[in-house]
A and B are shown apart, each in its own frame.
Chain A
Amino acid sequence: MAIFLQLFINGVIAGSIYALVASGFSLIYSTNRFIHFAHGTMVTVSAYFLYWLFAMLGLNFYLAGILTIIFAGFLGWLSYIGFYKQLKMKKASNAVLLVASIGLLILMENLMLLIFGADVKSLNFIAINKGHEIGGAIITGLQIIIVVSALVLLALLFIFVKYAKLGKTMRAVADNPSLANILGINSDKICSYSFIIGSAIAGFAAILIALEQNIEPVMGLTLIIKGFTSAIIGGVTSLPGSILGSYLLGLAENFGIWYLPSGYKDAIAFVLLFLFLLIKPAGILGIRKGVKE
């Protein structure tokens, strides 16, 4: 029983991290309708920004954290205005934007490599200690914070999209950009807002991931692959769906390697992805709409 509970907790922790990445990704996807792979490096760059403020400049950690979230939002806005929007204005197709976003991911990774070097950085903000015991399973304080804050943040996001005016407008743009335009909604503005909010969530994720897993230039790629997989499984156009997908993926990976050798962890994730793409391409909660290109 203890091992079951421990694996469940391990799965929920992994799922929370995936959800923090997937939710921002999914928010940006739903309004913009292209795959923003560089979302993963928003986490990387924000994590380095936090490292720079906290470990190099010696700023207070909480202040550094808030600045990191603001910075991430700004970075997301910049990547939309300075990069994607320019391509969109040139009538770039979604395939072009996808390749461009991979390009942006590689560029950012290499920039971090150039500035901070290739070696692993740790914040060393929290001392390594034994975790808390809950029914025979162990979870650290930080991991509790990750899970709780992921859940709270995602609940807030859900409420925002569902009830706030801006959130509703976003859904309108996601639903039908041309109609939203005709009704006088500035869809371009809404797209940039979704980039700001989605990236700020990535900034928040960066803080927690930096504390839990250390920082390195290539971390973004792994994160976005898992975040993307989660979003597809759950339904990429649906915010609750991508969150559900994240937890499903985290649990499947961790329970899967209870029986299988642990080297198959990533294989489990991708088998799940293939199954969904084959059987239910719209994901668990996604709705299949007429796609127009």
Chain B
Amino acid sequence: MNKTGKIILGIVVVVVVIGLIWYGVSQNQKTTGPAAGEPIKIGWIGSLTGDVANIGENARVATEIAVAEVNAAGGINGRPLELIYEDGKCSGKESINAANKLINIDNVNVIIGGLCSGETAGFVKTAMEQKRIVFSYCSSNPALSNSGEYFFRDYPSDNFQGGYAANYIYNDLGKRKVAVIFVQNDWGVGIKDVFVKKFKDLGGQILAEEPVNQGDKDLKTQLTKIKESNPELIYFLGLTEETIAGLRQARELDMNIPFFGGDPWDETRIWESLGKTYDGAMYTIPYAPLNEHFKEAMQEKLNNDAVLMCTPGAYDAVKILAIAMNKVGTDPDKIKNELHNMAPYTQGVSGQSISFDQNGDIKTASYMVKIIKGGKAVEYKK
């Protein structure tokens, strides 16, 4: 054996020994843990890096708050909740790895997540096959409704949002000729389809439908094409980066057409980055009855008052699952039945009354419109 071979062998031995010691210590800790009993492990998947990282991080903080509150109130029949956070990067490719790890290695019965629709779509099938509960707090693609009987979400399907936006733009804003820019992922395409159909049904005209790739930072040609069609309003279904780039380039191309967006525009970074140039831009977002207690808890953890679009849903997801598990234990089949049949949850911060239909979708959803004023999003009241 040559010198390099010996070094490699040495490294392997050291790694194995350290691994064994670490494993032994962690096992030891488990057996001598507090009397509160073994923790119940739950998986969490969200976008902690990439295009919507800020939204994901904000939701993760709310999840931590909810877990701490559940544990402070006695946990699940005396056992504490323990969450394992995994990064799905707003992509189905990444989330499937995260979910496989959670299911096969951590052996969780419940996964809270994912955040993006594509993220959830990436792993939901595997999770259904393995009979694990998937509880998404932010995925809105209508196609997810058919995922399976173990799938739930407390974020409304885009069937609601796309239709609401079409109705609002046609009736309340009185616009008849609209162009659509949408990001090419499960979320963007899902909401665009619903919007276009509804808007045409109402009697409006769709002048252009331009897709952009997620994370694309050059939308000049899409905007040039749209400018030619001369719409009265642009419905822009972008996530953070496409939105910043697109809005900025639209202004540079001298387009003074009003913009209307979807719920990802709740991301404060967009408006910080654009300054006051986009005062008057509007977007829809599910109405979230935030209470003072929740806002204070977030403020304390974050040192700012940002509560982004996915955050209330993530908080409620933990609370709803905790109630169900306190009642029926951790068996996925029992949790599933309990969630389908539970009385509407009325303590929520993401909706006033949360209950699930046979697809795991929430039965009712209400939206509000926000408008940008002085570089900040505020609720729009006519």
Contacts and interface: CB of A to CB of B under 8 A. Distances in A.
Interface of A: 3, 6-7, 10, 13-14, 113, 117-120, 122, 124, 127-131, 133, 138, 140, 213-214, 216-218, 222, 253-254, 257-258, 261-263, 265-266
Interface stretch (B102-110, B120-128, B249-257, B291-299): B249-257
A263 B217 contact: no
Interface residues of B, number: 35
Given A120-B244, A216-B241, A262-B210, A14 B53 contact: no
Contacts of B225: 3, 257-258, 262
B277 to A, nearest CB: 5
A6 B227 CA distance: 11
B273 A122 contact: yes
Contacts of A119: 53-54, 240, 269
A216 B225 CA distance: 27
A262 B275 contact: no
Contacts of A222: 215
Given A6-B224, A218-B215, 4 more contacts: A3-B225, A13-B218, A129-B251, A133-B254
B46 to A, nearest CB: 12
A217 B57 CA distance: 16
Contact of B253 (A138, A261, A262, A266): A138
Contacts of A257: 221-222, 225
Contacts of A14: 218
Given A120-B240, A265-B216, A3 B252 contact: no
A118 B217 contact: no
Given A118-B48, A124-B275, A128-B251, A262 B221 contact: yes
Nearest to A131: B252
Contacts of A129: 251-252
A122 B57 CA distance: 19
A119 to B, nearest CB: 5
Contact of A128 (B184, B222, B274): B274
A263 B213 contact: yes
B220 interface: yes
B238 to A, nearest CB: 12
Contacts of B217: 213-214
B220 A128 contact: no
B114 interface: no
Contact of B248 (A128, A133, A216, A217): A128
A127 B212 contact: no
B9 to A, nearest CB: 18
A265 B273 CA distance: 26
Interface in B212-244: 212-213, 215-218, 220-222, 224-225, 228, 240-241, 244
A7 B253 CA distance: 12
